[in-house]
A and B are shown apart, each in its own frame.
Chain A
Amino acid sequence: GENVEQHPSTLSVQEGDSAVIKCTYSDSASNYFPWYKQELGKRPQLIIDIRSNVGEKKDQRIAVTLNKTAKHFSLHITETQPEDSAVYFCAASMRTTDSWGKLQFGAGTQVVVTP
């Protein structure tokens, strides 16, 4: 099955700086890679996702890059703000017409943005 590794486990950045979280996956058949943000005690919320036919996707201060050959993808947050402080999870799944598309999550990265 799919195995997703995520680094770093914790990340402390100064407000205004950039934050980068990296994930690797093991199953070359995986073709969908979402990122979730989870605040303490709350549900994970989808912040951005990318499919394997795209190398990069951007949404305001958030961007995700995908390298299919190396089987890794990264989340980039620019101009970080205190409200970006949360746990971020990467995930991977294989999505086909007859697949349930189960998500395999990384271990999570605790991001702390200090003013």
Chain B
Amino acid sequence: GAVVSQHPSWVICKSGTSVKIECRSLDFQATTMFWYRQFPKQSLMLMATSNEGSKATYEQGVEKDKFLINHASLTLSTLTVTSAHPEDSSFYICSFRAFINSPLHFGNGTRLTVT
């Protein structure tokens, strides 16, 4: 099956700093990607959707200036949490779809803790 590599797997940062999370598709070209956030014991909430080479589309309530998404190539997408605060502490998971009718494959997720 499709392999998605996400780094780092966990990160602890101080309030006010920025954190970059990388997601790579290792064996396919991903034209569409999704970033999800999951708080403890809750469901996955879609943050944004992006196509390669285009600006991301953010879900209602997600600040685009705070969560910067770059999908510059067919194999790499990044999420930068800018000026992180403790309430941003969560599990962030990227996901790719190889083509329009293929299943969604998730990265291993990044556990972000903001102190």
Task: Spell out A's residues near B (CB within 8 Å).
Answer: 34, 41-46, 49, 89, 95, 97, 99-108
> Total contacts A to B, CB within 8 angstroms?
48
Q: Residue A105 contacts which of B43, B103, B109, B111 (CB distance < 8 angstroms)? A: B43
Are A43 and B108 also in contact (CB < 8 A) when A101-B100, A105-B44 are? yes
15 intermolecular pairs with C-beta atoms under 8 Å apart: A41-B111, A42-B108, A42-B109, A44-B93, A44-B106, A45-B106, A46-B103, A95-B101, A99-B100, A100-B51, A101-B97, A103-B34, A105-B43, A107-B42, A107-B43
B19 close to A (CB within 8 Å): no
- In the assembly, what is the distance between CA of A104 and CA of B44, in Å? 8
Report B's interface with A, CB cutoff 8 A. Answer: 32, 34, 42-46, 49, 51, 93, 97, 100-101, 103-109, 111
Complex contact B109–A103 (CB within 8 A)? no
For the complex formed, measure the closest distance between the CB of B57 and the CB atoms of chain A, giving whole angstroms.
8
Q: From A45, A46, A102, A106, give the contact of B49 (CB < 8 A).
A: A102
Complex-state Cα separation, A105 to B69, whole angstroms: 22
Asked if residues B43 and A97 are in contact (CB atoms below 8 Å), the reply is no
User: Contact partner of B46 among A45, A89, A103, A107, CB < 8 A?
Assistant: A103
Apart from the given pairs A44-B106, A99-B100, 7 other A-B contacts in the complex at a CB distance below 8 Å: A42-B108, A43-B93, A100-B49, A101-B97, A103-B104, A104-B46, A106-B43
Contacts of B108 in A (CB 8 A): 42-43
- The CA of A23 and the CA of B109, in the complex, are separated in Å by 25
Contact of A43 among B49, B97, B103, B109 (CB under 8 A): B109
* B106 → chain A closest CB, angstroms: 4
CA distance A34 to B106 in the complex (A): 13
CB distance from B101 to the nearest CB of A (A): 6
Q: Which of A41, A42, A46, A97 contacts B104 (CB 8 A)?
A: A46
